[in-house]
């Protein structure tokens, strides 16, 4: 990423790729219409290869099956992005050049660009016309993924969990308005409460590390985006689990588990209270909890009694 003053966004992508490479599978299937299973092995490229590529390529480069996939992360539209993508992709292909029958064969990676903001000027794909020395013309195309177009429900439906840290960016033009109006603040907090509950429901119990890392990265982007809105940031910290989620992964596991459970309950409570305040009927709110989060009836009754008021 070259047109944002902070490295927060591509640091998040690299962290997820390194710690949870399996999250790339749904993204690759979404962009390239592949059908890799969730258990397909995602291989980080060998260290020597990574060192070569990292001199030029800033973001994500991995192998799935026998194909290399290259993902670049952009905050906004960049008019020279295609020039850089061709440069990056040729560099990747050169680093992976294979010699067959006495001559080299270059195989370009499958590449895409993640645009984090909902920019209407970003096309679904960009292309570049490459004229070879013998007069042949090749059209080089790179798909664009506009993260800002994905709702929370769509993110969970397609299992694109690596988009969650960037969700806050759709609101960055409205932070001051949200912070100054309590009703807007409640709706904003409730949406992230909903996200936290859905995330907990989507991740198996034996993958606590994934839950922890995603929440930590969501908070990291939140803190960066809300750096000028301290009161709103404090409200978000309350539902994201507070300081307990910053503990080292090998310490105080019981305290951290309690913090997660408290954060989930706070999220459900905020969602119930928001539904009540905007006029959603009590029975409809209970039905929403049941269908969306697969909560048992007795737990729904307990939460409704506690938070409906």
294 vs 297, higher pLDDT: 297
Q: Is the Cβ–Cβ distance between 244 and 256 less than 8 Å?
A: yes
The pLDDT score that the predictor gives to residue 253 is: 45
Distance between CA 146 and CA 158 in Å, rounded? Answer: 14
Residue with tokens 């309690």: 258
Tens digits of residue pLDDT in 80-124: 889 989 888 888 888 777 777 778 888 899 999 999 986 778 889
Q: How far is CA 10 from CA 61, 164, 189, in A?
A: 12, 14, 25
The pLDDT score that the predictor gives to residue 258 is: 54
Highest average pLDDT, of 124-138, 206-220, 256-270, 293-307, comes from 124-138
Give the mean pLDDT of 285-301. Answer: 76
Among 118-127, 129-138, 250-259, 278-287, the least confident range:
250-259
Those residues whose C-beta lies under 8 Å from the C-beta of residue 125, and which sit 6 or more positions away, are 141, 142, 143, 144
How would DSSP label each residue in 65-110?
A: TTEEEEEEEESS--TTHHHHHHHHHHHHHHHT-EEETTEEE--PPE
Among 224-228, 264-268, 276-280, the least confident range:
264-268
Q: Is the Cβ–Cβ distance between 14 and 60 less than 8 Å?
A: yes
Question: What backbone torsions phi and psi does residue 182 show, to the nearest 5 degrees?
Answer: -65, -35
Those residues whose C-beta lies under 8 Å from the C-beta of residue 100, and which sit 6 or more positions away, are none
């Amino acid at each position: 990423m070259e047109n944002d003053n902070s490295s927060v966004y591509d640091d998040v992508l690299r962290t997820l790729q390194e710690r949870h490479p399996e999250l790339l599978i749904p993204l690759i299937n979404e962009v390239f219409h592949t059908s890799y299973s969730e258990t397909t092995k995602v291989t980080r490229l060998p260290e020597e290869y990574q060192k070569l590529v990292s001199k030029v390529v800033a973001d994500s480069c991995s192998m799935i099956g026998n194909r290399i996939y290259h993902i670049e992360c952009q905050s906004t539209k960049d008019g020279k992005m295609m020039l850089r993508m061709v440069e990056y992709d040729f560099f990747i292909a050169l680093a992976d050049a294979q010699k067959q029958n006495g001559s080299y064969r270059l195989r370009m990676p499958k590449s895409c660009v993640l645009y984090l903001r909902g920019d209407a000027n970003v096309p679904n794909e960009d292309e570049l016309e490459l004229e070879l020395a013998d007069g042949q013309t090749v059209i080089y195309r790179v798909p664009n993924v506009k993260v800002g177009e994905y709702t929370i429900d769509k993110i969970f439906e397609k299992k694109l969990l690596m988009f969650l840290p960037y969700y806050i960016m759709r609101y960055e033009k409205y932070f001051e308005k949200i912070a100054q109006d309590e009703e807007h603040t409640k709706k904003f907090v409730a949406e992230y409460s909903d996200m936290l509950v859905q995330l907990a429901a989507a991740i198996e119990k034996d993958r606590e590390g994934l839950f922890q890392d995603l929440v930590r990265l969501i908070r990291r982007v939140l803190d960066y985006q809300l750096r000028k809105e301290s009161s709103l940031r404090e409200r978000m910290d309350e539902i994201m689990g507070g300081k307990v989620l910053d503990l080292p992964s090998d310490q105080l596991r019981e305290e951290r588990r309690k913090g997660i459970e408290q954060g989930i309950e706070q999220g459900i409570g905020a969602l119930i209270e928001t539904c009540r305040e905007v006029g959603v009927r009590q029975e409809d709110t209970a039905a929403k909890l049941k269908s969306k989060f697969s909560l048992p009836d007795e737990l729904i009754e307990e939460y409704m009694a506690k938070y409906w008021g």
